Homo-oligomer: A and B are copies of this chain.
Amino acid sequence: MGKIRRNERIGAMVKILCSHPNKIFTLNNFCEMFQTAKSTISDDVVIIREIFNKFELGDIETVVGAAGGVRFLPKLFEKDFEFIQDICDKLSVPDRILPGGFLYTSDILFMPDVIQKFGEMLATQFQHTNPDFVITVETKGIPIALMTARALNRPVVLARRENKVTEGSTVSINYVSASSKRIQTMSLVKRAVQKGQKGLIVDDFMKGGGTARGLMELLHEFEAEIAGVGVIISTADPEEKLVKDYKSLMVLKQVDEVQRKAIVEPSSWIRK
């Protein structure tokens, strides 16, 4: 392959690190790939870290110890707050108000680059809890769960609304939807979660918090711990939700079908 220049090492390392957020790559990985000394790779890592700081691209963290190495971590920057504000503006338009006072959000919540950024933002808030997996219940929470899990380098565990014969034995619970007061069922494949593991609950939307509460109870059945609850949009009303601690990226303040007015704002922890 011939001598590999610093330019080349940096370009390749950035690609590899950023394709796998939160995954630790040993320096030996790169020593072998570039046939160079560990001290050279260490110098490269320092340069990459400076680049990422300077251009607000995220964190490059050196992890010490036997399982040590280097990893890319998403990080929140000022421009991300502007990003959320921009999405709020796009959601706060009369054209999105549906019969029944619902807001049409599917187009934006299914755009990969938007949802990737949302996932990275949620991940920054739960990174320190070190979850073993991200859990959601079908259907519309799956994209944000997947992108949060991507940013954390963890698998997604999917609870279902009904038992599926194609997935093996399951544990089911009943829970009450906070908004409709109806009894609902969710189930999870037995082999999906081990006792003592820690799950991060992620969903697209929270109104009364019944679904998140249901997922907490489901994890309780598995004797699993809860790392936290993160959602894209929570509603301002009701203020009291069935879940006390949660982080949302945006708050739906109002949908007025008659006045044709919708207000979505960034959550207060996100606002400067």
Contacts and interface: CB of A to CB of B under 8 A. Distances in A.
A110 to B, nearest CB: 4
B18 A51 contact: no
Interface in A15-38: 15-16, 18-20, 23, 33
A157 interface: yes
A35 to B, nearest CB: 12
B166 A102 contact: yes
Contacts of A149: 110, 112
A76 B186 CA distance: 39
A115 B110 CA distance: 16
Contact of A100 (B20, B104, B166): B166
A65 interface: no
Contacts of A1: 54
A189 interface: yes
Interface stretch (A5-13, A124-132, A209-217): A5-13
A240 interface: no
Given A110-B155, A149-B112, A191-B104, A51 B12 contact: yes
Contact of A155 (B47, B52, B112): B112
Interface hub of A47, A50, A155, A157 (most chain B Cβ within 10 A): A155
A107 interface: yes
Interface stretch (A78-86, A137-145, A243-251): A137-145
A98 B166 CA distance: 7
Contacts of A15: 14, 18, 52, 55, 57-58
A77 to B, nearest CB: 13
A100 B165 CA distance: 8
Nearest to A23: B113
A167 interface: yes
A198 interface: no
A261 interface: no
Given A10-B10, A12-B55, A51-B12, A20 B143 contact: no
B11 A107 contact: no
7 contacts: A8-B54, A12-B55, A104-B189, A110-B157, A115-B146, A139-B139, A146-B146
